[in-house]
Structure 1
Amino acid sequence: MSSLDGTVAAPLSPPRPSSRLPRASDQDGSYPRPQMLRGAWADLDGTWSFRNTGDDPAWRTGFPDARDIVVPFPPESPASGIDEPGFHPVVWYARTITRAELDAAGYGGAAPRLLLHFGAVDHRARVWVDGQFIGEHEGGHTPFTLDVTEALGTDPDTAHTLVVRAEDDPHDVTQPRGKQDWHEHPHAIWYRRTTGIWQTVWLEAVPTASIAGLRWTNVDHATMRLTVRLSGERPAGARVRITARWHEGDEDLATVEAVVPVHAHEVEVVVPVARQQNGQAEDELVWSPETPRLVDAVVSLLPAEGPEPLDAVSSYFGVRTVGVDGGAFLLNGRAYDVRSVLNQGYWPESHLAAPSRQALRREVELIKELGFTAARNHQKIEDPRFLYWADRLGLLVWGEAPGAYAFSPLAVQRLVREWMDAVERDASHPSIVTWVPANESWGVQHVATDPAQQAYARSLADVTRALDPTRPVISNDGWEHTNSDIVTVHDYEGDGARLATTYADDAARTALLGGRGPADRRILVGGAVDEGQPVMLTEFGGVDFQPGAKREDGWGYTSAVDDDDWVARITALYDGVRASAFLAGSCWTQLTDTVQETNGLLNADRTPKVPIERIRAAVTGR
């Protein structure tokens, strides 16, 4: 074993497949699973057959009188080609899988198992291949994978029919749904629905024994831990090898290599980062918004003898730590002022699905150009490719669960299961720095007084910590916290001077946390007390501004009359935040106009309402 100090002890021969693997830190944003890449895959997005009327079991082999839909855009959206925003409780999809797509996925020979991946299907999916039931999944925001090998038969030239049935009850508020409206038309702060397939569908061939998952964990500032999950028959004497390289452009600056034996279907590899041990060169390697350095890795499953791998994937990680101490949010051990924007991740043409893969990169770029260091992805488990660009370009991200709106055993089971899957999917991304399993008491409407709901809020935060003890957890963003590592407040006061008074000093902090806050909500409930946690203003602003013709249904929490008034309001509110002696961060509402909400810094099409330099100056104070 060696460490990231520029040397390699006892180097092993590099696995031949790794030369065909893309460098994970320098991908183009197309691969649907950006932290575990193989060299071959087949994208199944594009035109599928579609039915959204009727529900016939005979359709599992295909269906007549179908319409065309463009996957992965939901049928409610214009981009899908369906553009019917009403209720769709059951929808059906079908397409042919061709021999060319099987070849593109690398199927056959050394990769005899074929995996079918779904990025997200809202809410419950059942899948058939050539009429054979393959599997099902519940949870509208998390991925699932099905092994379809046995359904393909033995004829290599046969085309195969893939059918998906998606069920999404628009009135079921026990489903984690986030900002998706249960009314037919958007009302208040809720938007049009996203039903069915809304993230990429793709094929990937793997060996009989394969790497099924990776989990990178920042143990401390000088140690990473990799958990490798394996699938299939475990060969006797098998080993896992990791080779990690830190690049500056095309130059290799440091390398680590380790090999460990396989004794179970999960293998842990400790990766020491030697040049971090004493701290003198720490800033040359750590990840932050200012220096988003990523370390590339190749993970290989080796047989008992010889260097030729049974399977190999490429990945990346970032060396960084996050935490809280002394009322501050810490990034890499130092106090860091979190300047965040609320990002709904919603596009008028495609709803929760991004209109293109390039749009995910542009979203990150725009957030940074506006002067923000962080994004609170609101009520949405975002496409992993957004997180890749946040990792690569340098943007802190708040990982947040889409809320349900009922408190019942079914609602609890659904949200906990989906949230656990989301944390597992995203925990390796260095950009994610905190977890938010609940927002504004949605799904726990009486958490201020109901012991059962308090127990749920506490347990939801604690199970998040159990899954990932390396990041702060917020039990209920906005108010009515039970056991939060960061106390967050939502305050839409429109007067900057009043905002400055509310958050002025330690006396103001004591008054805020000890009584009722904005919206007449208690900040701490269920026996929670002020333990010196950081306090952040995680929703504020929300100033309506509509350049040009006014929309009658457009609104914000306050309104501006023209460009100068709008910029002045933003500046005054930020001046109030900057004047605080104790706020550790803030989150402006919001990035873009979204459906009826016209309180974005950008229009719905992502164009700025005034020159972007003016917005940035108001946000940053410079």
Structure 2
Amino acid sequence: MKVSLFVLTLWCVTIHGLLYPEESETRQIRSLDGLWEFRLDEAGVGKTEQWFAKPHLPSPTILMPVPASYNDITQNITIHQHIGMVWYARDFFFHNTAPRWVLRFQAAHYEANVWVNGQSAVDHSGGHLPFEVDITRFISSSASYSKVRIVVAVNNTLTSTTLPPGYLHIYNPTYRVLETPFDFFNYAGIDRSVILYSTSNNYIQDITIDTDSIDFDSQHVATSAVLSYSVTIGGTTHQTNTLRLIIELFDAQDILVVNNTDSQSRLIVNKPNLWEPCGMNHTHPCTEESYLYTLKVTLYDDASPMNILDIYRIPHVGIRTIRLTDSKFLVNERPFYFHGANAHEDSDIRGKGFDRVILAKHFNLYGWLHGNAFRTSHYPYADEFYAMANRFGIAIIGETPAVGLKKDQFVSQATLDHHKQVVTEMISRDRNHPSVLMWSLANEPESGDPEAKGYFSALA
């Protein structure tokens, strides 16, 4: 029997997060979305010929929008059906006013190699999840303005050890067929935004916040809540004994509720407003926004004349608990029934390219359906989906891209290692979203296979 395997968000993992790029008093953000140089690499010679070091990609090139899957942008069937490497490139100038610059790709499908000013910067395997790299060392620190050239090679070839898996059949140099165990198109390319952002040399690297407990009175009104948090500082240029933190929690009216100065501690909130899925107990209609707090973390350096080094805010802190009994799924100690549908990010022309128009339509459809939950079938969705779900009280079952796993994968250590990495990246990105109530490890695996138990036991 084929089933989807789910894991509750009760996991405790020790991993560094990928904080979503948020602009603040100390952080600059620049979108690199737009039209990029693009070409196929049907012969697979781009790396050998060092296209990444050239001032322009070799012709023939076209302009390709980012973010977007490249498959449906043109009327060229060869591009639509392409299996293998494609290349993107763009130049830009920026005002070099910060000590540290980070280049972030919200996602690229499937394997990406990135060069900055002709130098290898970062490689990433797996679509649907972000990756980033500190590019400070690749740019001129002496100039007020810097010119940067980014070149990206993206390979959509799936193998028995990728997630999802695939099997490439090469009949001749110009005829290839990718056999896949799933029923959706293998859209590819830089399908989410590319972002450049700045930080100080010492910066807020990671934040985790969760609800430990909520106390209720006899009428089930929340009287207090305990939140646990942890802040990780990155960077090594200053003496750490001069660094200090202030952690502040603000309500929806931007009024300070509670603060702390420890890097890891608890916050006690009196008379908290709770986050809950819409329509739950008829107290939160799906036409209204859910209650969200904002966590502000400020990093100071008492030895620095500027004093404030970094400020980062999480704008979607939801106070809520989840618990299972033998027969019920409880949110804030009340029974919750998942009522919704699966979805895909696919849309006309864009493929899996992120688009806020499609995002808004997606959530309006959910409101029309009176849904309160969805599963991100069959891969992690864009960060912005989760932010919208936080606001409108839509519960999420976040899913890995592990579709159609069978014995080939269950006996493969390479697949297992990659699967662990994907789960780690997914949890690292999504763990602070109150909307995420569960994670799905796989969709429709051959779970009856004798090797499946050991494989999934190793994941969980």
With over 3 angstroms needed to count, the CA separation of the structure-2 counterparts of 1:115 and 1:79, relative to structure 1, is farther
- Tell me how far 1:181 sits from its aligned partner: 11
- Provide the residue aligned with 2:90 in structure 1: 95
CA contact (8 A) 2:276 2:320 kept: yes
- Tell me how far 1:122 sits from its aligned partner: 1.6
- Tell me how far 1:228 sits from its aligned partner: 1.7
Instruction: Give SS of 2:384's match.
Output: helix
CA contact (8 A) 1:299 1:313 kept: yes
- Provide the residue aligned with 2:299 in structure 1: 301
User: Could you state the TM-score of these two structures normalised by the residue count of structure 1?
Assistant: 0.60
- Tell me how far 1:97 sits from its aligned partner: 2.0
How far apart are the structure 1 equivalents of 2:23 and 2:76? 31
How far apart are the structure 2 equivalents of 1:288 and 1:80? 43
- Provide the residue aligned with 1:204 in structure 2: 197
- Tell me how far 1:180 sits from its aligned partner: 12
- Provide the residue aligned with 1:245 in structure 2: 250
**Is residue 42 of structure 1 aligned with residue 30 of structure 2?**
yes
1:258 is aligned, of 241, 257, 260, to 260
1:232-288 per-residue CA deviation (whole Å, 9 max, x = no partner) reads: 1153231121111112xxx4455111112xxxxxx3232211325xxxxxxx43443
Structure possessing the higher radius of gyration over alpha carbons: 1
- The worse-fitting range, judged by mean Cα deviation, of 131-140 and 228-237 is 228-237
With over 3 angstroms needed to count, the CA separation of the structure-2 counterparts of 1:209 and 1:82, relative to structure 1, is farther
1:167 is aligned, of 155, 172, 185, to 155
How far apart are the structure 1 equivalents of 2:443 and 2:182? 13
**Structure 2: which amino acid aligns with 1:152?**
I
- Provide the residue aligned with 1:10 in structure 2: none
How far apart are the structure 2 equivalents of 1:180 and 1:322? 40
1:146 is aligned, of 133, 137, 140, to 133
CA contact (8 A) 1:180 1:191 kept: no
**Structure 1: which amino acid aligns with 2:456?**
A
How far apart are the structure 2 equivalents of 1:424 and 1:454? 25
1:150-171 per-residue CA deviation (whole Å, 9 max, x = no partner) reads: 111233334221111122314x
- Tell me how far 1:174 sits from its aligned partner: 2.0
CA contact (8 A) 2:85 2:156 kept: yes
With over 3 angstroms needed to count, the CA separation of the structure-2 counterparts of 1:252 and 1:95, relative to structure 1, is closer
- Provide the residue aligned with 2:5 in structure 1: none
How far apart are the structure 1 equivalents of 2:21 and 2:38? 32
**Is residue 122 of structure 1 aligned with residue 109 of structure 2?**
yes
Instruction: Give SS of 1:381's match.
Output: coil
**Structure 2: which amino acid aligns with 1:425?**
R
How far apart are the structure 1 equivalents of 2:74 and 2:367? 27
CA contact (8 A) 2:106 2:192 kept: yes
Map 1:42-121 to 2 at 5 A: 42-53=30-41, 54=43, 55-57=45-47, 58-62=50-54, 63-65=57-59, 66-78=61-73, 84-98=79-93, 102-103=94-95, 107-108=96-97, 111-121=98-108
Q: Which ranges in structure 1 are unaligned for 5 or more consecutive residues?
A: 1-31, 261-266, 277-283, 463-622
How far apart are the structure 2 equivalents of 1:199 and 1:176? 18
- Provide the residue aligned with 1:325 in structure 2: 325
- Tell me how far 1:342 sits from its aligned partner: 1.0
How far apart are the structure 1 equivalents of 2:23 and 2:229? 16
CA contact (8 A) 2:40 2:79 kept: no
- Tell me how far 1:70 sits from its aligned partner: 0.6
**Structure 1: which amino acid aligns with 2:421?**
R
- Tell me how far 1:401 sits from its aligned partner: 0.8
With over 3 angstroms needed to count, the CA separation of the structure-2 counterparts of 1:216 and 1:157, relative to structure 1, is same
How far apart are the structure 1 equivalents of 2:303 and 2:270? 29
- Tell me how far 1:366 sits from its aligned partner: 1.4
CA contact (8 A) 2:277 2:372 kept: no
CA contact (8 A) 1:179 1:189 kept: no
How far apart are the structure 1 equivalents of 2:308 and 2:416? 43
CA contact (8 A) 2:249 2:296 kept: yes
How far apart are the structure 2 equivalents of 1:180 and 1:253? 55
1:514-569 per-residue CA deviation (whole Å, 9 max, x = no partner) reads: xxxxxxxxxxxxxxxxxxxxxxxxxxxxxxxxxxxxxxxxxxxxxxxxxxxxxxxx
- Provide the residue aligned with 1:285 in structure 2: 274
Instruction: Give SS of 2:416's match.
Output: helix
With over 3 angstroms needed to count, the CA separation of the structure-2 counterparts of 1:61 and 1:372, relative to structure 1, is same
How far apart are the structure 2 equivalents of 1:359 and 1:36? 22
CA contact (8 A) 1:129 1:160 kept: yes
How far apart are the structure 2 equivalents of 1:331 and 1:456? 30
Instruction: Choose between structure 1 and 2: higher strand proportion.
Output: 2
How far apart are the structure 2 equivalents of 1:56 and 1:449? 41
How far apart are the structure 2 equivalents of 1:178 and 1:350? 23
CA contact (8 A) 1:120 1:144 kept: yes
- Provide the residue aligned with 1:543 in structure 2: none
CA contact (8 A) 1:68 1:81 kept: no
CA contact (8 A) 1:33 1:384 kept: no
CA contact (8 A) 1:368 1:395 kept: no
- Tell me how far 1:187 sits from its aligned partner: 8.5
1:274 is aligned, of 270, 273, 282, to 270
- Tell me how far 1:376 sits from its aligned partner: 1.1
How far apart are the structure 1 equivalents of 2:168 and 2:364? 29
Instruction: Choose between structure 1 and 2: higher helix proportion.
Output: 1
How far apart are the structure 2 equivalents of 1:227 and 1:83? 49
1:433 is aligned, of 428, 434, 437, to 437
Instruction: Give SS of 1:95's match.
Output: strand
1:115-172 per-residue CA deviation (whole Å, 9 max, x = no partner) reads: 10011112222211111222222222221111111111233334221111122314x1
CA contact (8 A) 1:70 1:80 kept: no
Map 1:511-526 to 2 at 5 A: none
- Provide the residue aligned with 2:11 in structure 1: none
1:45-94 per-residue CA deviation (whole Å, 9 max, x = no partner) reads: 11001121243232012422122111111211338999832133111111
CA contact (8 A) 1:374 1:396 kept: yes
